[in-house]
Amino acid sequence: MNMKNLAWFFMAIFCLAFQTVEYRMVSGLPLPSATFVTTDQIGNVYTVAENQLLKFSPNGKPLQNFSDSKLGELRSIDAGNPMKLLLFYPDMARIIILGTQFSVQSSIELRNIGIQQPTLICNSMNEGYWIYDMQDFQLKKLDLNLQLQFQSGNLMQTTGKRLLPNFLLEADHRVYLNDPLTGVMVFDQFGTYFKNIPILGLRSFQIRGNELLYINQGALKAIDLKLMNERDISIPASRGLKAARISERQLYLLTNDSLNIYSY
């Protein structure tokens, strides 16, 4: 390849790497009270508004809703398995499992099995549940029979800090526990502490491939989990951006006023 062709080759690679993604708005849903957004494997989107779980199709069509005022605050939803939605109510230390039509499949009272101060929960891909218990500052794995399988040990002793984590997620045989003042703590599938990713101030994030996606000062960023390189992800300008999700050819942006769905 001569020098002229080589120059054109590298110019083409540069342009391809920095091309702008074209987004088309599919739906804009007015949800000023929404506090959380997640998606399942087929693009359905879930949010919490006024302590009510709302489910929408990939094009924004309302599908189901669920609420139970007797349970207190609905803190989180794990939709990693769309056949088995995991809802967490910390006031009652209770997990509610919903089916696809939002019928209650089961209810787990964590204090009945010795977990007194659960603050975060998520599904495990290896059957069971991950729980962060503030009583002894441990990350714990329960199997489907609610038997303790693994535990991390006292994380306050491990880190030398009093953790107040606000988000928990398992992805690709890793468990991610976020503390806004410490960063994202990474554990293996046995609950053994692995490393810390020093991104501060997060409320939630998404693991997509080998990247961690998060919002920083109104922009969507991605950090490579192996190389720790950070990059910006081009998204439509959104005032008051609180959270973002990317699924197959869809982008979901939660702002102070609405949930906006885009295709690309």
Q: Are 155 and 139 in contact (CB under 8 A)?
A: yes
| Sequence-separated (6 or more) residues with CB below 8 Å from residue 173 | 125, 188, 189
Q: What is the reported pTM?
A: 0.89
Say if residues 152 and 140 touch (Cβ distance below 8 Å): yes
d(CA 183, CA 197): 6
| DSSP-assigned beta bridge partners for residue 37 | 47
Does some domain include residue 8?
A: no
Structural domain harbouring 147? 34-205
- Does some domain include residue 45? yes
Q: Position 206: which residue type?
A: Q
Asked if residue 103 belongs to a domain, the reply is yes
Residue 70 in domain? yes
Residue type, 233: I
Instruction: Enter the tokens of residue 192.
Output: 């053994």
Closest CA to 78 of 185, 167, 151, 138: 167
For residue 174, is it within any domain?
yes
Residue reference for tokens 């920095």: 18
pLDDT along the chain (264 residues), means of 10: 49 46 94 94 94 96 96 95 95 96 96 96 95 97 97 95 95 96 97 96 96 96 97 95 94 97 96
Which pair of tokens denotes residue 68? 């139970």
Q: What does DSSP assign to residue 22?
A: P
**In-domain check, residue 80:** yes
The residue type found at 183 is G
Task: Please give the order of strands across the beta sheet that includes 219-224.
Answer: 206-208, 211-216, 219-224, 230-233
Q: How confident is the model at residue 20, as a pLDDT?
A: 67
Residue pair 39/58 in contact by the 8 Å Cβ criterion: no
In CATH, what number is assigned to the domain containing residue 118? 2.120.10.30
For the chain, the domain total comes to: 1
Distances from the Cα of 8 to the Cαs of 2, 15, 131, in angstroms?
10, 11, 53
Question: Which token pair is 67?
Answer: 């609420």
Q: Is residue 176 part of a domain?
A: yes
CB 154 within 8 A of CB 138: yes
Question: Does residue 25 lie in a domain region?
Answer: no
DSSP state of 20: P
Sign of CA dihedral 30, 33, 39, 44: negative
